[in-house]
Amino acid sequence: MLKLAMIGSRGHFGYVISCLPGLSGKVEVIGISSGCEDPIDRLRDSLREIGISPAVYDDYHELLGLKPDMVVIDGPFEKHAVMAIEALKQGIHVFCEKPIALNLSDLDELTKVYRAGKAKMISMVGLRYDGAFACAKKLVDAGAIGKIKLVKTQKSYKLGVRPEFYKHRASYGGTIPWVGSHALDWIIYFTGSCPEKIWANQTREDNFGNGELEIAAQCQMVLKNGVMASASIDYLRPASAPTHGDDRIRLAGTQGVLEVSGGKVKLIDAEGERFVDVPECERELFSDFVFDVLGERKAWVDGEDTLNLTRACLLAQESADSGELVLWH
């Protein structure tokens, strides 16, 4: 039985909640903590709804002291790295909200600690596990579009009403790492490469009173394998739109063009243009990680992917902040 600790509920801890019932007998939640001044209610109530009522710890250090096998980190964004480092140093596997670090010095430290130990670590790149994107990935890997030349991704969200911590760079981290991480993750995932050179832009103007939150951003990069890629990121999706997000990827290759948009997969190849049937994704993010930790199968994402994605996001943000081209470093 894998002993699980859970810290915080600021982001996508729901990935864990939705998987826990299917993991009964394999995973036991041994305790929870909000990891900060946030009330514990959200996390505690979500667990209660699936019949789990673990002990609550005010101090997350105490919770880690119970020697869980794995910890879910979803506390304050600015504490992701320090909490992950603390857990990794104790050999605890880490399932962390993205971005796993808000700045490069935290990321460097995390990288060092992760590589020095044996504990596994991933961040919550749940959109690798979306049916349409998973289906598209399989097609691309099977050679459906030949050699990838050009990739475009899009994340467009409804702004809605954001908690106060989104309004400050120090506690939010920025729109490129937060919203854009998915867009950049698809680029890395589909191409199997990382950015060599990035130029990114962002703006806080017209952000509807959300302080330092960037309302929109764009990133363009050339990857180490020569593929050209770009990401369009915004909070400008109208409240009336049918879904919260408008997630897209377009891949143009030497033998075809493949797109995901609106949950559909469209392929144009030698046979013509058509929509491909999208089966439900056969894996889920959190349980995929659990099975990996248990040695049952390799997950679709690993620690190095997580470090690369976080670095790509932070370098894109460095470019947007400085206005300059940034080389991978």
- Out of 28, 269, 318, 321, the only residue in the binding site for a copy of itself (CB under 8 A) is 269
Residue closer to a copy of itself, measured from CB, 19 or 228: 228
Which pairing describes strands 257-261 and 216-223: parallel, antiparallel, or unpaired?
A: unpaired
Residue closer to a copy of itself, measured from CB, 51 or 238: 238
222 sits near a copy of itself (criterion: CB under 8 A): yes
- Output the smallest distance, CB 319 to a copy of itself, in A: 10
| Separation in Å, CA 76 to CA 21, 83, 166, 250 | 26, 10, 11, 33
Using an 8 Å Cβ cutoff, are 7 and 74 in contact? Answer: yes
Using an 8 Å Cβ cutoff, are 266 and 273 in contact? Answer: yes
278 sits near a copy of itself (criterion: CB under 8 A): no
- Out of 252, 276, 278, 281, the only residue in the binding site for a copy of itself (CB under 8 A) is 252
- Out of 44, 128, 137, 152, the only residue in the binding site for a copy of itself (CB under 8 A) is 152
SS3 327: strand
User: What CA–CA distance (Å, rounded) separates 7 from 10?
Assistant: 10
Residues 116-145 binding a copy of itself (CB under 8 A) are none
Instruction: Name the token pair of 147.
Output: 């050699």
42 sits near a copy of itself (criterion: CB under 8 A): no
Residue closer to a copy of itself, measured from CB, 108 or 196: 196
- Out of 37, 271, 280, 282, the only residue in the binding site for a copy of itself (CB under 8 A) is 271
205 sits near a copy of itself (criterion: CB under 8 A): yes
147 sits near a copy of itself (criterion: CB under 8 A): yes
Number of residues lying near a copy of itself (CB under 8 A): 48
170 sits near a copy of itself (criterion: CB under 8 A): no
Amino acid at 237: R
Amino acid at 62: E
- Out of 3, 197, 224, 283, the only residue in the binding site for a copy of itself (CB under 8 A) is 197
276 sits near a copy of itself (criterion: CB under 8 A): no
How far is C-alpha 196 from the chain's CA centre? 21
- Output the smallest distance, CB 173 to a copy of itself, in A: 20
Instruction: Name the token pair of 112.
Output: 């060092």
SS3 271: coil
- Out of 1, 56, 66, 325, the only residue in the binding site for a copy of itself (CB under 8 A) is 325
- Output the smallest distance, CB 189 to a copy of itself, in A: 19
* 80 C-beta neighbours (distance < 10 Å), count: 30
Residue closer to a copy of itself, measured from CB, 10 or 237: 237
User: What CA–CA distance (Å, rounded) separates 85 from 94?
Assistant: 9
Residues in the chain: 329
| Separation in Å, CA 77 to CA 73, 102, 142, 282, 290 | 9, 7, 37, 30, 23
160 sits near a copy of itself (criterion: CB under 8 A): no
